[in-house]
Amino acid sequence: MGRIVLATHNAHKVAEFQGIVARTRPDLEVVSYDGPEPVEDGTTFAENALIKARAAAVHTGLPALADDSGVCVDVLGGSPGVFSAYWAGHAKDDAANLALLLDQISDIRDPHRTAHYTSVIALVLPGGGEHTVEGVWPGRIAREPRGAGGFGYDPVFLPEGQERSVGEWSAEEKNAVSHRARAFAALGPLLAAL
């Protein structure tokens, strides 16, 4: 079995990636990253994903995957975007981020609450070679959180054509169609070479 490191200390992301990878590449073991956390000072999802993947590849000597993702709300000009994890401050508090976002768009009518999740996955090979792919999952923001599943903004994200929030979905449902699943599908041909 091949091994690839996922450059994150976020246990939710590790579990989600392991589920996504198992669907298409059961021969590939996703291991968690135990190294230092680099400063994510990029201004795009791609820049931040590459920063993390480079650090993990150097630290472990393994091929490294890194995801940088967030929710992009149209009426907020695409924000929180790359600042999704820190929207309410540096504590990375999911509940506070969610509450702030809902407060900021509380007066926005439902037709204008459109949003999308974006995920950029970077693959960095220890011997050289860097690639990025992007997955986008369109939807809208609900008026209040629903469900206890997922993490981050999942309880208020209603995928296009759905009335259930991602917080009400099973992990299997989410992993089949999420922004990360879409980015990972685009990464498939690159992983085939590992």
pLDDT tens-digit map of 122-152: 999 988 899 999 999 999 999 999 999 989 9
Cα–Cα dist 73/180, whole Å:
18
Q: What is the pLDDT of residue 17?
A: 83
Alpha-carbon torsion (70, 98, 9, 149), positive or negative: negative
Domain total in the chain? 1
Q: What is the pLDDT of residue 1?
A: 55
Q: What is the pLDDT of residue 194?
A: 65
pLDDT tens-digit map of 150-180: 899 999 999 999 999 999 999 999 989 999 9
Q: Which domain holds residue 79?
A: 2-191
What positions carry a catalytic annotation? Answer: 68
Annotated binding-site residue? 90 = no
| Cβ 190 vs Cβ 132: under 8 Å | no
Nearest to 167 by CA among 153, 177, 178, 179: 153
CATH of the domain at 49: 3.90.950.10
Beta-strand pair 64-73/2-6: parallel
pLDDT tens-digit map of 29-74: 999 999 999 999 999 999 999 999 999 999 999 999 999 999 999 9
Annotated binding-site residue? 182 = no
Annotated binding-site residue? 11 = yes
Annotated binding-site residue? 154 = yes
Higher pLDDT, 127 or 194: 127
Q: Where does 61-125 have alpha helices with state H? A: 94-104
Annotated binding-site residue? 9 = yes
pLDDT tens-digit map of 53-65: 999 999 999 999 9
